[in-house]
Structure 1
């Protein structure tokens, strides 16, 4: 792990024991998040994004089995920490913003109570903590922040609640912020304002961000790097601009083609990727995208592709770019 890397995930595989058998949720996942950088994590539902987020935050379900791998935050492997040690990191070196702020904010406590209580590690007077809370609400552009502290979450709009959640996550100036689809519940205008706000605060604080989303437009606007996941694997990763200009994996190409913003002609039907995601209990022996891939050829059904460095991408799992397979 280099000095310029805030988070490094190496060969991470996690499964779940189910009545039907062992479900292999994520397999051999590896990528880095640069210090002060924003990495987007993109993929269809069920691709493993939530499991990966839970692993980073130490919130894995009791049925989860970490089969292999490491998650490094600086010099600390998060997977080796006890529950108590991980709890001390959360809210200090690691912050989190979730999709629905009504579920992450306590509905029976005022915003001020929650923003002062979250500073329990700081040996400050309650008055000073309140002043810090007001300052942070001002930074996230909430009007009349002093008055808002005495409000309950249900008295604020959805956009304001999400900004409160962002403010609380960044109060400790963490090394890493994990944002799980924080703009999904917002309308288009609030979404763009939240993106701009996150970028400004991230640059001010200098933290790294893992931004989990389905929204390709948000990724292109906000993220420095992008990781594309499919059926529990990273199929492509690299700088966002290069990925969007010239995707190397067929899945990435088809996923981008489904973005409504790329539709040039009026149509009654949105573009889709034919087929379905394979089951993760009986994972196919070859490429996990083979059954849906328009460019598949014989080796795709029997050989599991290895990650390759290809121009424009840091890693691509595709036989089309492997000279040992295509030669």
Structure 2
């Protein structure tokens, strides 16, 4: 979902219900229903069935929307002649009517038991989310003229899928999908985004999950770059900057070896640039070394034929200050 949607939901959703160890996997409709049910937003049928393939009525969607919006029941605002005083959804119908989210059918009728069409759902969720209808956008599929802008906006936001006709009755599953995306259950934000190397980034989300993404275009060191990352079916735009390569530490790692660590993994180009760019000295004596980069390209081992005990300076090409390394007689 490209847009950031934020609604007030009464009661906190239980994050353990919808968290998934498979960070890149889209939650199933059943899992989204379970999360909404745990929050008291939706209900199943007797026996526990979610009835995802069943149609949903205007009264049922009124309750879902009212709870998503954090609206209190308002029976006084439900003055429709086909909504009885003791009707179970009267307070919810009144609440969404007063909020202007779900309107009546005219002639003081609401049609509480009528099925809601997909295009009607699009209008309801677009207005609930505060999105702007896309009146000039093209919509592939049968759609009423009045609903075209709402359907286009809902599709763009990822709240409904494209289909052959939007005039057909919506299923409970379709509504629960949209309701989940509008709820705080899906309000996951980007906590951090870092460039691992020129072709890989890691994005950490507020729910603790980490998405690793390979890039088709290499990052340029020092240049901020925006990247789209998909997580749980939604697209987040993040900005990452590849740090310039520099050595962070150097220490003895063997009788005749010194390991130099870098601030990040090096690319093949950067390793080529550093080839021959290491100098190891003790006082005025230089010690030739051969460089072998680690498999993760985050460090390099400098091996010499002989390194007598003493204090050394290690200079790395591209890193300003040299490192001081104390070599022991044996390690």
Shorter-chain TM-score category? Answer: under 0.3
TM-score of the pair, normalised by structure 2: 0.26
Which structure: greater helix fraction? 1
TM-score of the pair, normalised by structure 1: 0.26
Q: Which has the larger radius of gyration?
A: 2
Q: Which has the higher contact order (CA 8 A, sep 6+)?
A: 1
